[in-house]
Amino acid sequence: MTRQLTSISLFTGIAGLDSGLHKVGFEPVFCAEIDANAQATLFRWLSERRIESVVASDVTQIDPHNLREDLGFMLGDLDLLVGGPPCQSFSLIGKRGSLIDERGLLLFQMVRYAKAFMPKVVLIEQVKGLKSAPCLKNKKGGVLENLVCGFQELGYTVSYEVLRAADFGVPQIRDRLSSTKKTGLPKISKTLGINDIIALHFKLNHKLV
């Protein structure tokens, strides 16, 4: 019998990423979404699928080490940490405040939670503007460089690329940077559909064991 794959979802929104991941076997044990309207949709999504997940709002107000203990996880037990941190400060059509904008700093919450859980894989979805976003020293691409270094210091192998939604059957010209880190999951065998874009990328870019 195939065991249930576990995930923790940060910046969950209306469960867009989680919906695709759920179709390939992942069940979120914890979700965090600060927007009340999005959280209401998230609760409905979880309820319709009878998923018993702890739901919180502000990821910065949670101690991930305490959360791991509360969930009964040992280091390395969690299969997947997934998140789509706010993109406004990195978007090519915005003001591009980068890390001067406090929303940009939320990206590094992914590293903080990864350090506490040491999941087998971390998956991050962002706008392609992250590739060129300057760090506080004004170095072009410095934000992504710092993010990659943060995960490498934890022992993760990092890969990332820009994907276009239209290439996966979605009628939108929407480019997104998808970053995946570290392998170690049981093999997934399932036909993926239109809504599984990120899950598809995750599967194709890693040899899962």
pLDDT tens figures, 91-143: 777 677 777 778 888 999 999 999 999 999 898 888 888 888 878 888 888 88
DSSP state of 41: H
Q: Provide mean pLDDT across the span 166-170.
A: 68
- Express each pLDDT in 24-56 by its tens digit: 899 999 999 999 999 999 999 999 999 999 999
Q: Tell me, what amino acid is at 173?
A: I
pLDDT band at 174 (very low <50, low <70, confident <90, very high): low
Our CA dihedral for 90, 78, 24, 202, rounded to 10 degrees, sits at 40
Determine the pLDDT at residue 131: 82
- pLDDT of 187 > 80? The answer is no
- Do the Cβ atoms of 45 and 23 come closer than 8 Å? no
Determine the CATH number of domain 5-204. 3.40.50.150
Kind and range of the H or E run holding 39: helix 36-48
Q: Catalytic amino acids?
A: 87
Mean per-residue pLDDT, 156-184: 67
How far is the C-alpha of 209 from the C-alpha of 207, rounded, in Å? 6
* Residue predicted with more confidence, 1 or 99: 99
Say which residue the tokens 């999941």 belong to.
Answer: 119
